[in-house]
Chains A and B, each alone.
Chain A
Amino acid sequence: MANAQTIDASIPMIEEHIETGLSDLLGSYRSTYTPGGEQKDRLGDRFVLMPSRQLPEFEHEFAKAYEAQDLYHNNRQVYAMVCDNLLPYNLRATNALVGFSNPALAQILGAGTVNCSNLNESRQVIFIERPQGTRLSELVKSGGRMHEHKVIDTVLQPACKALNALHEKGIPHGNINPSSFFMTDSATLGEGLSMPAGSQSHYLYKPIERLICDPLGYGDASDKTDVYALTILAFELMFGLEKLKAMPKDDFIRLALKMGTYHAFTNNRDFSDALQDLFRGVFNDNVADRWGIEQFTQWIGGKRFNVIAPSPPKEAVRPLVFSGESFFSRRLLANSFHHHWRDALKEIQSLKLDRWCETSLHRPELAENIDRALRSGNDRNATDWQLNEMMSKIITLLDPVGPIRTLTMSIRPDAIGITLADLMRQKGAELTTLLGLIESNMTTFWLEQDDGHKTPDMSVVMWKLQRARQYMKNKAFGFGLERVLYELNTSLPCQSPLLMPYHVTTAVDALKTLDALAVNLAPDTAFTDRHLASFIAAKIDMGKEMKLNDLTNVPALAMNQELIVMRILAKAQQKQSKLVLVGLTTWAAMRVEKMIDEIHNRIIRKRLKLQLKKLASSGNMNDVLSAIINRDMVTRDLDGFSEALAMHSIGQEKIMRLENESVIGYKARDMGGRIASNICYTIMVIVGYIKLSELLGL
């Protein structure tokens, strides 16, 4: 191009690289906060974890066990449970039980985040006083039987005290089984905090409505589930469970559903009056009538109830035949539908289930509900999802106290959180099913079918699930699947790769950790992290999507996800008024420095970049972000750019015209012609004047 050749090379360009001084600022900054715990393998100045001394006898799939030391009490035998950081733990129970002392309970001495040298990352560690004696499971393994009085005196009475102590604090144990009791003169109940409720117990220790749940679908334990497990333990210690344990799980479920739990266990055996009361009260398939801690405590205290033996669950006058089998019980039928899902889908419309409910069960309301559910799947255009939802509803209507059952899952709504965490941990194929379950109104439907579900804790779960539905629809940073994960699992540490090794559980810790890590991570590490954004958003209860309205005119910035995450971090910092984060702010400033290049005007750019250090040194994220999220500045820049573009284009057009040979030729001919004619006319006038003068003799 001709114009390219004529640009004066001597015109200096404004310097592109501007030394902001942010690297120096970050280099000189030292955070006082040590992420993940100050000293390795220590919790404060009291507990020492000994990672070289593993204790396999205390371990399970959710936590590793090690020997530990209590520096305040050198003679005390302590062990530590190092929890998995991919699953939530029972934070409420842990906080309530730390320092709580009861002779029948293994004492929780301390709990907190410990920097584990062997794992090279921080974890939630629970320090527990090591119970004395042998486990009851050893006794069970040896096949020995205990006498009724001994069981009551040495196991049930201390266990009752322990459960009452927990009950007063509103905490169930959740994992009562022979391994959780340690025997000396009397039994001591071990901890149940390091594992999800019901995860370590044999299925026989679970009441029938929870027995049909998936391993992690058990949900929150209650005093009734604890008393049930304790009664099964007593039964095993006295009579053994070898025959039932030898039976496949599905067969036992069918047996319990067919005969009732009481008959399945007792099998017409004779007991003492006291034990009969206990077994009839606890092995009751009606959850509302089943004994809880109050009745159990009264029973231990010597009260006799004369409970009537539960009758086998034969509800229907006439059977319903499905898959070649006759069913008299709704729950057994529901279980069969779940196990023969595809057959049930094929036959459900021809089974005349609603009619059976009306004529054989004499439950017209149930018949109406079933008819309504059947009609939702009666449409020829119904999708697989709609058909499966119909089947889930029918199963829930038939067995309202059981879990929500889908083709591949069997889960209680209060277990959705931990199951989601587990599926995300294992990248499980059922994740889509679970997400579908959250998105659908199945959980609300399940809640409405039984008044026993309507507990305060379940109401909180339902409220969380309702919110999760909204969050899941939103795919913006701070929302989506990750947000649902943190909303449903409040104790789950942040799963962001940046924060994962430091076991961060609060927004303040997340900010402080990022502040301390800034020296190593800035400037190349981006904040674009869905887990980080969702974790912070969940902790600060961010309800609305973060939008950069001031930058709508600059799409590259308005849609910048990193800027949105930084804004979320700034919002979290704002909630802690005295939190100064120079490291994190400088890191953010370094990231913003790159974004400032989206500003067209080099003078504005330079000015912004030069003030970044000053803004960063304030330690306030908002100050740094205000440099770029500034409507006036952006508008001024855009208007100026448009004007400059127009001026440049006009100039370009002018240059092209001025370089046009035809234009030059035309102008030259015109101008030359004018000059020539002027010269010639001048000559003519002069000659005319001279000749006229000569003629006139002037």
Chain B
Amino acid sequence: MSENTQTPTLEKPARKKMSGKMKTLLIIVSVFLMAFLRTGFIFFLVGMMPSIIAYIMDSSKHRYMFQCVFACNLSGMMGFVLNMVAHGPSSAVLQEMMGSFTNWIIIYGAALLGWLVVQICPMLAEAMVNNMHKGQIARIQRIQKKLENEWGNEVAQLSRAADPNHHSDQE
């Protein structure tokens, strides 16, 4: 397709710096978590590592991958964080949680699930968009056919001749 075709900007935007508000919020949340979890905050940071990596890697406008990985990652962490909050930040609990391989599988598996969701959904969406577009094209073509019926093939010929992209398509 020609570059002249008006399409949304598809280029990767420049990496967006975190805004001041977000930084402040992150610091407040981190301070809050450090206050409640103390050494458990380390566990939280290690557990949320997929989200941190996703945030760094996802430079897109809406950061859907980060959002999905973060939401699922946090869902995986939710039980353990709430448990630590409920029972207090003892080293025994922390050791038990960190020592359990299953826990890491749950935490990272959840993050993996988020990543899988964000990979699968666009594929499904593409099929949906394709179907929607085909429907729209058919509707437009019906209108065009009606115009050609009423005004002659000249309408189509002139319309195509006036469209520079038409020629480049054929070429």
Q: Which residues of A contact B (CB under 8 A)?
A: 1, 3, 6-8, 11, 13-14, 600-603, 640-641, 644-645, 647-649, 651-677, 679-681, 683-684, 687-688, 691-692, 695
Of A654, A661, A668, A679, which one neighbours B117 at CB under 8 angstroms? Answer: A679
Chain A residues contacting B60 (CB-CB under 8 Å) are: 673
**Do the beta carbons of B151 and A691 come within 8 Å of each other?**
no
**Do the beta carbons of B67 and A677 come within 8 Å of each other?**
yes
User: Given A664-B129, A668-B126, A681-B71, is A648 in contact with B144 using a C-beta cutoff of 8 Å?
Assistant: yes
Bound complex: CA A221 to CA B18 (Å): 114
Q: Range of interface residues on chain B?
A: 35 or more
A-B contact pairs, 28 of them (CB 8 A): A13-B149, A600-B154, A645-B162, A651-B143, A655-B137, A656-B5, A656-B169, A658-B136, A658-B137, A659-B1, A660-B1, A661-B1, A668-B122, A670-B125, A671-B121, A672-B122, A672-B124, A673-B65, A673-B67, A676-B64, A676-B68, A677-B118, A680-B67, A680-B68, A680-B71, A680-B118, A691-B82, A695-B86
| Most central of A640, A645, A672 by chain B CB within 10 Å | A672
**Do the beta carbons of B155 and A662 come within 8 Å of each other?**
no
**Do the beta carbons of A676 and B121 come within 8 Å of each other?**
yes
Closest to A674 in B: B64
Chain A residues contacting B147 (CB-CB under 8 Å) are: 644, 647-648
Q: Does B128 contact A (CB under 8 A)?
A: yes
Bound complex: CA A213 to CA B138 (Å): 83
Interface residues of B in 25-50 (CB under 8 A from A): none
Interface residues of B in 43-98 (CB under 8 A from A): 60, 62, 64-65, 67-72, 74-75, 78-79, 82-83, 86
**Do the beta carbons of A679 and B121 come within 8 Å of each other?**
yes
**Do the beta carbons of B64 and A644 come within 8 Å of each other?**
no
Chain A residues contacting B141 (CB-CB under 8 Å) are: 3, 6-8, 651, 655
B51 to chain A, nearest CB (A): 11
**Do the beta carbons of A603 and B7 come within 8 Å of each other?**
no
A382 to chain B, nearest CB (A): 54
Bound complex: CA A640 to CA B154 (Å): 13
Chain A residues contacting B125 (CB-CB under 8 Å) are: 667-672, 675
Chain B residues contacting A651 (CB-CB under 8 Å) are: 140-141, 143-144
Of B6, B69, B133, B152, which one neighbours A602 at CB under 8 angstroms? Answer: B152
Chain B residues contacting A680 (CB-CB under 8 Å) are: 67-72, 75, 114, 117-118
Q: Does B165 contact A (CB under 8 A)?
A: yes
Q: Does B22 contact A (CB under 8 A)?
A: no
Q: Does B8 contact A (CB under 8 A)?
A: yes
**Do the beta carbons of A645 and B169 come within 8 Å of each other?**
no
Chain A residues contacting B14 (CB-CB under 8 Å) are: none
| Most central of A659, A666, A667 by chain B CB within 10 Å | A667
Bound complex: CA A38 to CA B126 (Å): 84
* Interface residues as binary, B101-120 with A (CB distance below 8 Å gives 1, 0 otherwise): 00000000000001001101
Chain A residues contacting B124 (CB-CB under 8 Å) are: 672, 675
Bound complex: CA A560 to CA B71 (Å): 75
Of B71, B136, B137, which one neighbours A684 at CB under 8 angstroms? Answer: B71
A166 to chain B, nearest CB (A): 68
Chain B residues contacting A681 (CB-CB under 8 Å) are: 67, 71
B77 to chain A, nearest CB (A): 10
Q: A1-B170, A667-B129, A673-B62 are in contact. List 6 more A-B contacts (CB 8 A).
A: A648-B148, A651-B141, A668-B123, A672-B123, A673-B68, A691-B78
Bound complex: CA A665 to CA B130 (Å): 10
User: Given A667-B129, A669-B122, is A649 in contact with B140 using a C-beta cutoff of 8 Å?
Assistant: no
A479 to chain B, nearest CB (A): 34
B12 to chain A, nearest CB (A): 12
Of A662, A674, A691, which one neighbours B1 at CB under 8 angstroms? Answer: A662
Chain B residues contacting A601 (CB-CB under 8 Å) are: 150-151
Of B138, B149, B159, which one neighbours A652 at CB under 8 angstroms? Answer: B159
A8 to chain B, nearest CB (A): 7
Chain A residues contacting B138 (CB-CB under 8 Å) are: 6, 8
User: Given A688-B75, A691-B82, is A666 in contact with B64 using a C-beta cutoff of 8 Å?
Assistant: no
Bound complex: CA A645 to CA B144 (Å): 10
Bound complex: CA A652 to CA B114 (Å): 40
Of B62, B134, B150, B156, which one neighbours A14 at CB under 8 angstroms? Answer: B150
B61 to chain A, nearest CB (A): 9
Closest to A686 in B: B75
Chain A residues contacting B65 (CB-CB under 8 Å) are: 673
A290 to chain B, nearest CB (A): 74
Bound complex: CA A641 to CA B150 (Å): 9
**Do the beta carbons of B117 and A676 come within 8 Å of each other?**
yes
B63 to chain A, nearest CB (A): 9
**Do the beta carbons of B126 and A665 come within 8 Å of each other?**
yes
Closest to A597 in B: B152
**Do the beta carbons of A668 and B129 come within 8 Å of each other?**
yes
**Do the beta carbons of A655 and B140 come within 8 Å of each other?**
yes
Closest to A16 in B: B152
Bound complex: CA A655 to CA B124 (Å): 22
Closest to A603 in B: B150
A2 to chain B, nearest CB (A): 8
Chain A residues contacting B137 (CB-CB under 8 Å) are: 3, 6, 655, 658-659
Closest to B71 in A: A680
Q: Does B160 contact A (CB under 8 A)?
A: yes
Of B72, B75, B143, which one neighbours A647 at CB under 8 angstroms? Answer: B143
**Do the beta carbons of A673 and B142 come within 8 Å of each other?**
no
**Do the beta carbons of B129 and A653 come within 8 Å of each other?**
no
A655 to chain B, nearest CB (A): 5
Chain A residues contacting B146 (CB-CB under 8 Å) are: 11
**Do the beta carbons of B62 and A670 come within 8 Å of each other?**
yes
Chain B residues contacting A14 (CB-CB under 8 Å) are: 149-150
Bound complex: CA A560 to CA B154 (Å): 20
**Do the beta carbons of B74 and A684 come within 8 Å of each other?**
yes
Closest to A653 in B: B163
Bound complex: CA A687 to CA B79 (Å): 8
**Do the beta carbons of A645 and B117 come within 8 Å of each other?**
no
Chain B residues contacting A692 (CB-CB under 8 Å) are: 82
Bound complex: CA A695 to CA B78 (Å): 11
Bound complex: CA A692 to CA B82 (Å): 7
Chain A residues contacting B71 (CB-CB under 8 Å) are: 677, 680-681, 683-684
A348 to chain B, nearest CB (A): 64
**Do the beta carbons of B155 and A648 come within 8 Å of each other?**
yes
B154 to chain A, nearest CB (A): 7
A646 to chain B, nearest CB (A): 9
**Do the beta carbons of A684 and B145 come within 8 Å of each other?**
no
Listed from nearest, the 7 A-B pairs whose CB atoms lie closest are A672-B122, A673-B64, A668-B126, A680-B71, A672-B125, A672-B121, A676-B121
Of B122, B143, B151, which one neighbours A673 at CB under 8 angstroms? Answer: B122
A135 to chain B, nearest CB (A): 74
